Amino acid sequence: MPSKAVVDAVAARLAANWTATPIVGVNVTGETPADGSPFLTVQYPVAGSRHVGMAGIGERTFREEGVIRLILSARRGRGQSQALQWCDQLAALFRAQQFGGVTCRAPSPPIDNNDNESGKYFVLSIAVPYFYDLVA
């Protein structure tokens, strides 16, 4: 699990810049929209922390590194074009960006395979490697 600072920074970036679909928060709702409307969720499948150095006495730097997984659930049966366009927009929103102390690297492209169709949804995700430095 990432630090609260990372979760808050990612949530703020999405809230300020993502209007294409609702963002469904983690541990907020267990149900998908009944009407099959598209939505975005965020996960953090990998996170770790390590000591990376000292700038001075009492100024130790710890680096959290992990992955932000952006999961787009689009309407099923409508082709890939809209979902891929949204994934491109999400990737651009995070690609090589810095915000709230978080530094993002190159997002993965969305993966298309037999697991993409789930109920009413066509599901694509991208993975964004990040790091966050904490000075303590």
Q: Is residue 32 part of a domain?
A: no
Domain range enclosing 67: 4-27+37-135
- Mean pLDDT (the chain) is 90
pLDDT for res 29: 61
The total number of structural domains that make up the chain: 1
Residues 124 and 74: their CA atoms lie apart, in Å, by: 8
Pick 75 or 25 by higher pLDDT.
75
Residue closest to 73 by CA, chosen among 104, 117, 114: 117
In-domain check, residue 22: yes
**């689009």: which residue's tokens?**
74
Output the domain CATH number for residue 45.
3.30.2000.10
Tell me the pLDDT tens digit for each residue of 15-63: 999 999 999 877 676 667 778 899 999 999 999 999 988 777 778 899 9
Q: Cβ of 112: how many Cβ atoms within 10 Å? A: 12
When mean pLDDT is compared across 11-20, 61-70, 98-107, 111-120, the lowest value belongs to 111-120
Give the span between the Cα atoms of 18 and 42, in whole angstroms.
13
Given this model, what pLDDT does residue 74 score? 92
